[in-house]
Structure 1
């Protein structure tokens, strides 16, 4: 070990400079750096994305043109062009036929030296037919029979960047493979044997020097193994963070069930099995002497508010307080409205703190909170302020976590002694992404709908029928129903989202009458936005024209129609969230997906899935398969790892195996001191999991 870095000495060559590799000069190194390939280790994990069969043939007649062929030839006559711009041709003969090598903008002297008439050469390149004559234009390789061993039977093709060539990549990786160290095995022996994976060193050789197209596929044992190494390092980091949290002292919070029973007695229906299970999982976590760090994942309308209340009541029953955080004031007020009737049944004091609270009113709330007279606080970011002090905060619930940073989660935890944390999200996330993003947390899933939610009928309507849609709307409004009309996200070059929403608002107001239609978009001052929402919630306005600001959480049971304009431009998850705003009351609800014809194949598929199912988890899996991980969560704020080899869409199962494996390894060997534990440490250094390395050295 070097005292300076702590990195195992065996890995040092992989963290040197790229220019030490054959074929890489300053320009190539710069081109690689632009593609985030900065050291030999990064190049090692940049695998070929395809390959070319260059196995030796007796004649070009053995391949079906156009195709790549490698063949030994006798060089014949040179035909230099008589005019500028005409190609230079060299006649050659293989074992069965003659054909031409063709060169553009070429120097005759150089070609005569490369291809002396009467000599034998091995050429490899693409054979094509031109006017019934077989040609190979600019062969990729021209070598003497003695040098021909240099042409691999199956040549890897790398993703290139800048001025790099395939030949430079081949030379650099050849040099790199020669210095790859033998490393101890970090994969669980039983898993290794079951999967039939090669050792790490061997896997890299197979991946960089494939012998066939099957070995370039992500399913090949070598690539599968290398993908698993990446995923395992990531899950080990999350498992170490989880283990550290579990070691940090928590408080036992165990309710006696008195207040919870009052709420259950007041409910008009029984909780679903999923709700009952989640409440039990959370209660068990809170009763442990370590801190809870749990994710409650529920589809639109799966009843997360009820589960959250039961958890908050457990904190109150144990003599403590709870806080529930929402990203916006609208959502915070909504949580307050949802919790208050039930909290009243339980005899619990509930209050709201937002940025609007000022002066004496704010002071009196803060005093009541510090004295313990407010038992459950619902709030926005205002809760993070220094002067907000609790008497005994036991549980913090954070809604729509991705809108809060991890640092804020920690700040909230610091407002009490070893506060338990429950994060809620209404965005169904495919399992592989949930494991990648929230792998350090324990997860409860609400996958059933409570009774009383009416199914939503979804229909596809072409934009050309807009007038008929507005007529249907007029009839619905006359019956007292309410409607959301969501405007598309617009590309900046045309008009802004705001302009699109304002245009639609004007047209609907002209058709349906003054006072019937409201407008809300992202550029409005928050107070105006809240006022427009409030008018819609109270039923003063019947139609709300909006951009996607209403995507998360707004609850208006009387709204039973959702019109989404240019639905094909939205992601599946977003369409699902928007549709979830209706179907919350007793009225039969409808979602109209207005699309601009003609639809692309992908657009049609997406809208068909929306018509077929209301299951958010199925929709999220389809979305992942169609769009890829970065788009589904929005890579910028996703906290998703950037893998070089593993593919979250197609190798979802690896993530689950890795999580189980990582947690078991740390359970059996918490300090990673066993042989396999020490090998796992090398893996963490190799994969640059600095956070994990710090946790081990601290732990």
Structure 2
């Protein structure tokens, strides 16, 4: 697959080759990420204007667009600068005025000669009881009026680019459309009633009614599918490359797992058992596992992860669990230590803190195979760390890293199986978009023994009552988090807000009782403050959102979130999940500043209604859209120009199964359809996929 196929050249040329686009317009268009004809064609109209011809504007409500044939009457030039230029006109039933600001008289007299017939189209307004159209969008001689479409598409625009320029450029790009081979499976296309690619693009840019602009219109669906399918082919290629790397067969006899399960004070949930079985079955295959373990706050991922590590140990190998920070690695160690003791397995931790002789001793024991399970930060990937026989790498990706990093990880793992854990419930359509290269296990049940968290909404005006409530709870030996508001984009202001709150709470609750963590602190200080809270030396921890990252303090049973309306739903859900981890009844107080916006109120009410993270994530997606939901920049989530993940999640699932089936039947993309899919990958700029085919 040498380079971009010649057939696509017209779509990847310079914008300046299109009608009406000069260097200046091209530069303006690049602001909305339109740099070549292809980008322009994938920028579809978002609404349309009805410009069907009417006999008269007489019954047209103000604010509506009207297209009508008129006889041009008298011109009234402005008496002083800054006043408008007016032209009287008469349609079949009524007279009205055309109004122009800053216009040249000679130009208007040519455009609208007195006594001439013209077709004008624009928004009707009422001024001083008289109908008028200010700056009509179209003024044409009657014989040219057929060039005004009945339904005119409206495009996203940028300052300096008019709708007319955009429409002309798009029409000119449509004239250059090549005939491309069909990459969609013919039975699927027939079943869905989708047009071919060229017809779909043409129809999407020349809609005849509002129905043809909706995401459900066949042409739009087809183009959205192309985009999702290209993305899923890329992920399926990544998955295939990943699996082609020889894995190891890790099959355990179950003795260590049985021992741990029989020592547990409770039985695992059905979801946990299912995930354990899926992982063990993957590890027993000769190809490499690449699985995502997705679970809500407190769904019991730790036990499932440990069972997977035990499969590696039972099979005679080693396992590693990596966490993003030292404090989280130590927490995993504390959670896993009792399980490891009950299985009689040697578990160790390795972080950047290990130095000198101690580090050398650990590395020696690891290389000799004496340490069976290692917990650590990314420091476990340093050059001098060698395993005796690494079978499984588990990544606790509190902050997700994309497909590229996952591929790097498996390259390092010498054939090790990979399990990625995430505590963020992700709606299915997004999970397919971000993790389509992986197989997914979902933990959607809460283990027994977790107390539900009572969630209440409290206005900021009642802050003194909240502080009093806290004082009473502390006297009973309880602990609380106090999360300070997020200040727009400024860590410095976040810091001031947190420090102010810290000072005020110390004044009321006592110097020793209150700790502080915020994003500007050196990591060592942050860890120390967290550790003091964990040990119960401070009763209240004032924090900016750094606490949402998984630190476990079972005794903390109160979560106060100040100005909660400023946080996202998923973030509030994660924060609330920090309490309710022990036996004590827990509360989460969402403090808000009235008046709430509609969206702010809706978010807080959803939290009050449910603790189901998947439902919360679905609502979040519906309210905010995909890009915001997982922070597009750091998620590796593709930006789709046409597809809409919120409304077209079923198409994403279809695209995934189609892509996996295609690569199963035609791994090198050599059949006629395979060759067509190669063209699609170039068209959609899926460079990573193209690289993978080359490797293939």
Deviations 1:596-632 (A, max 9, x none): 1221111111000010000001011111111121221
Which of these residues, 209, 213, 217, is aligned with residue 212 of structure 1?
209
Alpha-carbon distance between aligned partners in 2 of 1:392 and 1:251, rounded to the nearest angstrom = 10
Question: What is the match of residue 274 of structure 1?
Answer: 271
- d(CA) in 1 for partners of 2:375, 2:31: 47
Query: How big is each residue's C-alpha offset from its partner over 1:336-385, in whole Å with a ceiling of 9 and x where there is no partner?
Result: 01111011111100001111111111111111111111100000121121
Partner of 1:35: 32
Shift of 1:250: 1.0
The aligned residue for residue 500 of structure 1 is: 497
Matches within 5 A, 1:171-250: 171-250=168-247
Quick one: distance in 2 between partners of 1:493 and 1:433? Answer: 29
Show the counterpart of 1:650. Answer: 647
Q: 2:482–2:540: 8 Å Cα contact kept in structure 1?
A: yes
CA contact (8 A) 2:29 2:158 kept: yes
Cα-to-partner distance string for 1:155-179 (whole Å, 9 max, x where unaligned): 1111111321111111111111112
Give, in angstroms, the shift of residue 79 of structure 1: 2.4
| Counterpart Cα distance in 2 of 1:638 and 1:602 | 24
Q: Confirm or deny: 8 A CA contact 1:235 1:658 kept in the other structure.
A: yes
Closer, same or farther: CA 183–62 of 1 in aligned 2, 3 Å: farther
**Quick check: 1:615 aligned with 2:612?**
yes
Q: How far apart are 1:293 and its partner, in Å?
A: 0.7
Which of 85, 93, 96 is matched with 1:99 structurally?
96
TM-score by length of structure 2 reads 0.97
Q: Is the 8 A contact 2:299 2:447 kept in 1?
A: yes
Tell me the residue number matched to 2:374.
377
Over 3 Å counting, the alpha-carbon distance change for 1:116 and 1:417 in structure 2 is closer
Is there any run of 5+ residues in structure 2 with no aligned partner, and where?
none
Match of 1:454, SS? coil
Secondary structure of the residue that 1:59 maps to in structure 2?
Answer: coil
Alignment of 1:54 with 2:77, yes or no, is: no
Pick the aligned partner of 2:587 from 590, 594, 599: 590
Distance 1:416 1:608, change over 3 A: closer
**Displacement, 1:184?**
2.1
CA 406–41 in structure 1, closer or farther in 2 if over 3 Å, else same: closer
Using the TM superposition, name which of 680-689 and 186-195 deviates more: 186-195
Q: Which of 522, 526, 548 is 2:523 aligned to?
A: 526
8 Å CA contact 2:401, 2:636 repeated in 1: no
Q: Is the 8 A contact 2:398 2:549 kept in 1?
A: no
Contact 2:242 2:407 in 1 (8 A): no
CA 1:472/1:623 → structure 2, altered by over 3 Å: closer, same or farther? same
**1:500-559 deviations in whole A, cap 9, x for unaligned?**
222222222221223222222222222222222222212222211122111021111111
Q: CA deviation at 1:108?
A: 2.2
**Counterpart check, 1:44 vs 2:36:** no
Quick check: 2:491–2:519 contact (8 Å CA) kept in 1? Answer: no
Measured at CA, do residues 10 and 260 of structure 1 come closer, stay the same or move farther in structure 2, by a change above 3 Å? same
Report deviation, 1:62.
4.8
Runs of 4 or more off by more than 6 Å in structure 1? none
Supply the distance in 1 between the matched residues of 2:185 and 2:218 (Cα, whole angstroms): 16
Contact 1:563–1:592 (Cα < 8 Å) also in 2: yes
Among 677, 684, 690, the alignment partner of 1:693 is: 690
TM-score, normalised on structure 1? 0.97
Q: How does 1:360-399 map to 2 (within 5 A)?
A: 360-399=357-396
SS of the counterpart of 2:182?
coil
C-alpha root-mean-square deviation of aligned residues, in Å? 1.6
Q: Give the Cα–Cα distance (whole angstroms) in 2 for the partners of residues 603 and 76 of structure 1.
A: 54
Aligned to 1:10: 7
1:295 and 1:403 map into 2 onto residues whose CA distance is 11
Residues of 2 paired with 1:585 and 1:58: CA distance? 75
The whole-number CA distance in structure 1 between the counterparts of 2:533 and 2:145 is: 77
Note the C-alpha offset of 1:191. Answer: 2.3
**What's the offset of the Cα at 1:303?**
0.4
Residues 82 and 503 (structure 1 numbering): CA distance in 2 closer, same or farther, change over 3 Å? closer
Q: Residue 63 of structure 1 aligns with which residue?
A: 60
Q: Is the 8 A contact 1:55 1:70 kept in 2?
A: yes
Partner in structure 2 of residue 601 of structure 1: 598
Q: Name 1:629's counterpart in structure 2.
A: 626
Task: Report the Cα distance in structure 1 between the residues aligned to 2:125 and 2:159, rounded to whole angstroms.
Answer: 28
1:683 paired residue among 680, 685, 691: 680
**Could you say if the C-alpha distance between residues 591 and 186 of structure 1 is closer, same or farther in structure 2, counting changes exceeding 3 Å?**
same
Q: Is the 8 A contact 2:76 2:87 kept in 1?
A: yes
1:150-549 matches, cutoff 5 A: 150-400=147-397, 402=399, 404=401, 409-410=406-407, 412-491=409-488, 496-549=493-546
Report the equivalent of 1:552: 549
CA contact (8 A) 2:627 2:639 kept: no
- CA distance 1:297–1:33, change in 2 (3 Å): same
CA distance in 2, matches of 1:232, 1:678: 15
Shift of 1:693: 1.6
Q: Helix, strand or coil: the match of 2:542?
A: strand
Which of 669, 672, 678 is matched with 1:672 structurally?
A: 669
Tell whether 2:105 aligns with 1:108. yes
